[in-house]
Amino acid sequence: MKINKAYKFRLSPNAEQVVILTSLVDSARFVWNEMLALSLEMFAKNEFINAINLVNKIVGLKNNPEFAFLKSRSNAVSLQQKVRDLASAWSRFFDPKVHARFKESKKKPRKPKFVKLLDGTEIQHRPLMPQFKRNADRCDSMRLVQFDKYCRVEGNRVKLPNGVGFVKFRKSQEIVGIIKNVTISKKSGQWYVSFGTERELLQNPIHPSKSSLGVDLGITKLITTSENKTIKPKNSFKANQVKLAKLQRQLSRKVLFSQNWKKHNHKIQKLHSHIANIRHDYLHKVTTTISKNHAMIVVEDLKIANMSRSASGTMENKGRNVRAKSGLNKSILDQGWGMMIDMLGYKQHWRGGLVIKVNPNYTSQTCFNCKHVAKENRRTQVKFECVKCMYVANADFNAACNILSAGHAVLSAEGGCGKGRPMIQKTCDSREEVA
């Protein structure tokens, strides 16, 4: 089995190195934008857009005397990788499956945008089309492949090409596996390095634990397990909300796009990335603990994107419950349920464990004791009281137990896991109808 893992660290370049790195990511972004403009022309003419077509056009761009800096201040490999990224963005755009998923998520229709072509005509920028990158987005990256050829890691330093030389990074853990590629990125004024590694395992890993766990995701309690343990959420956003609101108020009083406005906006972006880092770190800790201790983890298959979107209301149905729901909205996004389920998925994959997604319908209304389904079972948010057999339990705990047994049902229906890889699937068993 092959294991691909990325290790991301904070990079600490010196002033000189920052200058070179900035010019490298700048030229990568420049090539993306130029190539996107070119491919939009091709799109208007119904020409075929693919990676080879686009990569071949880099030479023309480099030979243009106006863009002479591409020859002196860019990395050829990273430019090629950028263009390949663009090509895959286009192939996603042409993929009907991606469009179907996009339609399912029912994003609010936006005002149509238009892109001007060379001959003066305009074409509409359709959803999912690749977009132009701006410097102001403060989010830039470049990727180098064939790591061995151009780079090398020595202790807590990495050697980068183009005269950057050795750059220190904060090595918080050992890098395991063969480094295949390296991505240098810049976000909110910070530089990061990410090593993409590959490791071949002779045997498929076997999870050290034999236990299984049902997990119920909630707002006030992030996780309630079928072992009746709860994990509190880390409301990184809530804690920083006051600070953020203050900064945003101050920003609104400044002249739009003035130097002061830009400085202040940068502060807000830094706070946003700080919040995201806290949440990310916490979720990693929680999911690692769960994944280490349980071979099989059963979660609800939540359409999180749908849940959080429905709260903002539809065009016809504006205003109903919007306020109450938008509170829920913020909490869901703050806790990052989707991110957590993804993390559990790949961590179980590495350890040889399993994540099963089950149908979330009625898990909170079904009695774990007698399987009776009724709305009346759950009169309050916290307490579960079965109207048929009088079973009383914590509502979230009852749900977690139901989720676990639904997971076992999936597993026995599929005849166990013989493929040596985690199966991610949904239940298809029918349940009795709700009274």
Positions annotated as catalytic residues are 216, 300, 396
Q: Tokens standing for 131?
A: 């977009």
Identify any residues that bridge with 4 across adjacent strands, giving them in sequence order. 198
- Of residues 353 through 382, those in contact with Zn ion by CB under 5 A are 367, 369-370, 372
Does 186 interact with Zn ion (rule: CB under 5 A)? no
Quote the least distance from Cβ 366 to Zn ion, whole Å.
Answer: 9
Measure the CA–CA gap between 322 and 247, rounded to whole angstroms.
Answer: 25
H-only helix segments in 133-187 = 147-150
Judged by beta carbon, residue 150 or residue 391, the one nearer Zn ion is 391
Q: Among all chains, which residue has been given the structure tokens 């993409």?
A: 196
Judged by beta carbon, residue 166 or residue 391, the one nearer Zn ion is 391
CB atoms within 10 A of CB 191: 21
Quote the least distance from Cβ 367 to Zn ion, whole Å.
Answer: 3
Measure the CA–CA gap between 71 and 37, rounded to whole angstroms.
Answer: 20
Q: Which of 163, 167, 161 is nearest to 143 (CA)?
A: 161
Q: Is the Cα dihedral 393, 396, 401, 402 positive or negative?
A: positive
Please classify residue 40 by burial: count the beta carbons closer than 10 Å to its beta carbon, then call 0-12 exposed, 13-18 middle and 19+ buried.
Answer: buried
- Of residues 381 through 420, those in contact with Zn ion by CB under 5 A are 386, 388-389, 391
Judged by beta carbon, residue 228 or residue 314, the one nearer Zn ion is 228
Judged by beta carbon, residue 348 or residue 402, the one nearer Zn ion is 402
Judged by beta carbon, residue 35 or residue 404, the one nearer Zn ion is 404
Judged by beta carbon, residue 239 or residue 389, the one nearer Zn ion is 389
CA dihedral 268, 270, 271, 276 (to 10 degrees): 130
**Residue 113 in 3-state DSSP?**
strand
Quote the least distance from Cβ 369 to Zn ion, whole Å.
Answer: 4
Measure the CA–CA gap between 373 and 434, rounded to whole angstroms.
Answer: 6
Judged by beta carbon, residue 27 or residue 398, the one nearer Zn ion is 398
Q: Which of 315, 327, 313, 297 is nearest to 408 (CA)?
A: 297
Please classify residue 384 by burial: count the beta carbons closer than 10 Å to its beta carbon, then call 0-12 exposed, 13-18 middle and 19+ buried.
Answer: buried
Quote the least distance from Cβ 391 to Zn ion, whole Å.
Answer: 4
H-only helix segments in 45-192 = 51-56, 58-63, 69-72, 76-94, 96-104, 147-150
Q: Tokens standing for 84?
A: 């390949």
Report the half-sphere exposure of 306 (CA within 13 A, side-chain side). Answer: 8
Quote the least distance from Cβ 401 to Zn ion, whole Å.
Answer: 12
Burial 217-235 (b: 16+ CB within 10 A, else e): bbeebbbbbbeeebbebbb
Quote the least distance from Cβ 435 to Zn ion, whole Å.
Answer: 13
Judged by beta carbon, residue 30 or residue 397, the one nearer Zn ion is 397
Quote the least distance from Cβ 387 to Zn ion, whole Å.
Answer: 8
Helix 236-252 and helix 259-293: axis angle, to 10°?
170
- Of residues 319 through 338, those in contact with Zn ion by CB under 5 A are none
Quote the least distance from Cβ 216 to Zn ion, whole Å.
Answer: 18
Which residues of the shown chain bind Zn ion in the complex (CB under 5 A)? 367, 369-370, 372, 386, 388-389, 391
